Amino acid sequence: ASPERILVSIRNALSMGALKGEVDRLKKHATGRASFADMVGDSPAMTMVKRMGERAAKSSIPILITGESGVGKEVIARAVHGSSDRAGKPFIAVNCGALPENLVESILFGHEKGSFTGATDKHLGKFQEANGGTLFLDEVGELPLDMQVKLLRALQESEIDPVGSKRSIKVDVRIVSATNRDPAQAVKDGLFREDLFYRLNVFPIEAPSLRTRREDIPALVDHFIRRFNVEEGKSVVAASAETLAFLTAYDWPGNVRQLENAVYRAIVLADAPYLQPFDFPAISGVAAPPPEAFEAVASQRPAILPTAEELVAEMPADAPVRILDHRGHLRTLEEIERDLIALAIEIYAGHMSEVARRLGIGRSTLYRKVREQGLEDNIKGASETDGATAAA
């Protein structure tokens, strides 16, 4: 096979791998089976969130997630649901701050036909939609005080009173709520009922801001690139080292949501294989180069990475990482990736920061792949060999 044909096969394999990953993510999202293992980030702050969330998920204890806007409170709530015995049952999310005040009661608890002007049909409401599963009340502190009273009763009695109904209805719902306010201060200010606060805040989880877990930013960027490549039909390889450096240094007042939107915009506009600072003009302050300079930028690759054509053309038959099997067929992407990571760990003596840098991926992504490929012993072996060499 020619180097060109092998290169096309490798690109197709990479695209299929990314597509499969995105399909799996969407399936888990749609069926309520996303777990804490699917959350991106291995920083100490995120590790604590995962550990606490997994413990709380095993019971039906009410959880209150606090944190700034855009930190991913709903992602945590979905992971709680997917890690509980309610996984696969309904997960219903309600943004309490976006509900029209005159329809809050109807939307949450439902209504009977003809119970008020415009009620032309019976409506179940979010509590009944979530029956058997989890109800996520986002920005719960935005609920009007009279609705907070009715919510408290629903939680205490495990039953609701639809508007216009003559009898109460029993519901089996796990409550996870969230707020970007300081709930204790909201209670002091008279905006949040104290009894409801204590009912919801049995197990608090604080979602960290992105600027307090900067080490997760490379892994998040990698995750969003793979996702938006699939959605937009693009083939961006990664962010350049310079781009990752300024993205990691930025404060991200809008947190993960802002980073997600920034990468999305960059992917849509990018024509080069590596995202550059000018693909993030609002953050980097760097304008795109003029059209005549674009070709030089588009063909730019990190100096440590030769082209795929050069790799294939120069690779001997007994190369440590084989592209083809003994019959001349292309090996699977997973097999090639495993050999490449194992070789990099051996060459760089288990120094994972250097391995990640040379492979052009984030450290958390590298550790995830090491676990998936069962290469933990390679790290230990390489480190021991390196230590023995140093001692000698």
Same domain, 147 and 231: no
Asked whether residue 315 carries a pLDDT value surpassing 70, the answer given is no
Q: Which residue is it, tokens 């003009």?
A: 281
pLDDT digits (tens, 9 = 90+) for 316-375: 555 556 666 666 566 777 888 888 888 888 888 888 888 888 887 888 888 888 988 888
- Residue 335 is predicted with a pLDDT of 82
Same domain, 202 and 217: no
pLDDT digits (tens, 9 = 90+) for 30-42: 777 888 988 999 9
Same domain, 202 and 56: yes
Question: Which range, of 31-35, 89-93, 257-261, averages the lowest pLDDT?
Answer: 31-35
Residue among 371, 320, 378, 322 at smallest CA distance from 351: 378
Residue among 203, 166, 177 at smallest CA distance from 57: 203
Same domain, 178 and 310: no
Same domain, 264 and 372: yes
Q: Are 302 and 273 in contact (CB under 8 A)?
A: no
- The percentage of the chain sitting over the pLDDT mark of 90, rounded to a whole number, equals 51
Categorize the per-residue pLDDT at 203 as very low, low, confident or very high, splitting at 50, 70 and 90: very high
- Residue 344 is predicted with a pLDDT of 84
Same domain, 95 and 188: yes
CA distances from 17 to 177, 230, 362, 379 (A): 35, 10, 18, 25
Write down the H helix ranges in 158-278.
183-188, 194-200, 217-232, 241-249, 255-269
* Average confidence (pLDDT) over 52-76: 95
CA 30 to chain centre: 15
Categorize the per-residue pLDDT at 303 as very low, low, confident or very high, splitting at 50, 70 and 90: very low
CB atoms within 10 A of CB 284: 16
Total residues belonging to the chain: 392
Categorize the per-residue pLDDT at 309 as very low, low, confident or very high, splitting at 50, 70 and 90: very low
323 found inside a domain: yes
- Residue 361 is predicted with a pLDDT of 82
Categorize the per-residue pLDDT at 109 as very low, low, confident or very high, splitting at 50, 70 and 90: very high
Cα 106 to Cα 161: distance, rounded to the nearest angstrom: 10
* Average confidence (pLDDT) over 48-72: 95
Q: Residues 337, 340, 345, CA angle at the centre, nearest 5°?
A: 125
Asked whether residue 290 carries a pLDDT value surpassing 90, the answer given is no
- Residue 307 is predicted with a pLDDT of 45
50: containing domain: 32-208
CB atoms within 10 A of CB 206: 14
**This prediction's pTM:** 0.69
- Residue 302 is predicted with a pLDDT of 44
Instruction: Give the three-state DSSP class for 19.
Output: helix
- Residue 8 is predicted with a pLDDT of 52
Same domain, 56 and 201: yes
* Average confidence (pLDDT) over 70-88: 95
Same domain, 54 and 125: yes
Q: Which two tokens stand for residue 234?
A: 């693009």
- Residue 194 is predicted with a pLDDT of 95
In the listed set 208, 241, 274, which residue is the last one of a domain according to the structure?
A: 208
**95 bridge partner residues:** 138
Same domain, 145 and 229: no
Within 13 Å and on the Cβ side, how many CA atoms surround 20? 8
Pairing of strands 169-170, 159-160: antiparallel
pLDDT digits (tens, 9 = 90+) for 118-136: 677 888 899 999 999 999 9
Categorize the per-residue pLDDT at 10 as very low, low, confident or very high, splitting at 50, 70 and 90: low
* Average confidence (pLDDT) over 133-158: 94
CATH number of the CATH domain containing 251 = 1.10.8.60
- The residue ranking higher by pLDDT, 174 or 328, is 174
Q: Residues 272, 278, 280, CA angle at the centre, nearest 5°?
A: 105
- The residue ranking higher by pLDDT, 23 or 45, is 45
Categorize the per-residue pLDDT at 163 as very low, low, confident or very high, splitting at 50, 70 and 90: confident
